[in-house]
Structure 1
Amino acid sequence: MNSTNKVILDLAVTLDGYIEGPNGEVDWCIMEPEMDFIGFLNQVDAIIYGRKSYDLWGTYTPDTHDISNGDSVMWKHIHSKDKYVFTHQSLENDKNTQFLNEDIIKSVNKIKQSHDKDIWLYGGSSIITAFINHNLIDEYRLSIHPTILGDGKPLFENIDPRFNIALHHTHTYKSGVVQLIYRKMTE
């Protein structure tokens, strides 16, 4: 399989660095066609979650009365991907989902070797921190939203050790969202 695929952290974050509000709110997150999220989903064939994020979004099905055709297509794409969930619990795998509680570095290497396309690291904050601390993220795609929450779940906590990443690309959208794409620094 592909050894050049990347683990990509693609995440919405507020201007003050939160990935959700104090009660889990994500209503500030702007999705617009110009962002081409479907294009991103076509770039990946697997998604990595922490267990809490998987419980919230891994099998999420929006109410058919409140969903647009574009959202329906997006969720269909998301649910077609292989899913890997890091958890301390012992849970049964199903058709598209594997629950992992083994060494994170070995698991990520196996996941990368078994997929041709990139892998989306969805989150939550604990798994993101573990991936950062083990230097397992190849690309950071952070969409900074023009919202200041003042409180909530921060994107970065307990990062050790410090390291640098290189700016690869920026894009400003009409909504005011600014996407910053960073990659690992090459030696």
Structure 2
Amino acid sequence: MKKIVLDLAVTLDGFIEGPNGEIDWCIMDDDMDFTGFLSGIDTIFYGRVSYDAWGNYQPDANAGKAELELWKNVHAKTKFVFSRQERKDDKASFVSGDIAAIVDAIKKEEGKDIWLYGGAGLIKTFIDLGLIDVYRVSVHPVALGSGKPLFENLKERVKLKLIDTKVFRSGVVQLIYETL
């Protein structure tokens, strides 16, 4: 069965965005092997706001070969957008309703794992419903003091088992946990 993988950058003080939605603190080093991560998934779950911002993002003409290849790889994935807003989109399936049932059906399909991209509201919903199988959290060497926290107002404790750690040149530390 496919796994839901939350792959996310956080600040040392636990924020996934700054107070105004900024993510300019995120570091993408070549030693992070994000391409390797993308090769292990075939589906991406978005919230509507995140999809509108990033689901069809195209780097500018001056972008390097690696960035162009990365976005080409992202856009080759099957995309589901969880939204109360119905919309026709030839690049994604918009879904609403019983999230747990929808996710269960998609997880049972043949294929690779699923990247829970976000945004924050969708991530919180998946946490509360216990739908995340793997937390792949990359802690960046910056503290913001305020912003949108990864874990906020949890309904229950999230019990995790550390399965791997990676340290990158930039000082980013990736922690990979499975849910218990």
- Assess same fold via TM > 0.5: yes
| Matched residue type, 1:155 | L
Q: Do 1:24 and 1:152's aligned partners in 2 also have CA atoms closer than 8 Å?
A: yes
Supply the distance in 2 between the matched residues of 1:6 and 1:47 (Cα, whole angstroms). Answer: 12
What residue number does 1:176 align with?
171
Q: Does 1:83 align with 2:79?
A: yes
What residue number does 1:44 align with?
41
Supply the distance in 1 between the matched residues of 2:11 and 2:73 (Cα, whole angstroms). Answer: 25
Secondary structure, aligned partner of 1:72: helix
RMSD between aligned residues: 1.0
More off after superposition, 85-94 vs 34-43: 85-94
Q: CA deviation at 1:158?
A: 2.1
Which structure 1 residue ranges, 5 or more long, are not aligned?
none
Q: CA deviation at 1:115?
A: 4.0
| Matched residue type, 1:85 | V
What residue number does 2:99 align with?
104
Match of 1:149 among 144, 152, 160: 144
What residue number does 1:56 align with?
53
Which structure 2 residue ranges, 5 or more long, are not aligned?
none
More off after superposition, 10-19 vs 85-94: 85-94
Supply the distance in 1 between the matched residues of 2:76 and 2:103 (Cα, whole angstroms). Answer: 20
Provide TM-score, normalisation by structure 1: 0.93
Structure 1 residue ranges, 4+ long, deviating more than 2 angstroms after superposition: none
Secondary structure, aligned partner of 1:10: strand
Deviations 1:21-63 (A, max 9, x none): 1222111111111110000000000000111111111011111
Supply the distance in 2 between the matched residues of 1:36 and 1:136 (Cα, whole angstroms). Answer: 25
Q: Do 2:158 and 2:179's aligned partners in 1 also have CA atoms closer than 8 Å?
A: no
Q: Do 1:125 and 1:156's aligned partners in 2 also have CA atoms closer than 8 Å?
A: no
Pairs aligned (count): 180
| Matched residue type, 1:108 | V
What residue number does 1:23 align with?
20
Q: CA deviation at 1:64?
A: 1.3
Deviations 1:82-123 (A, max 9, x none): 0001001111142x3100111001110121122410000000
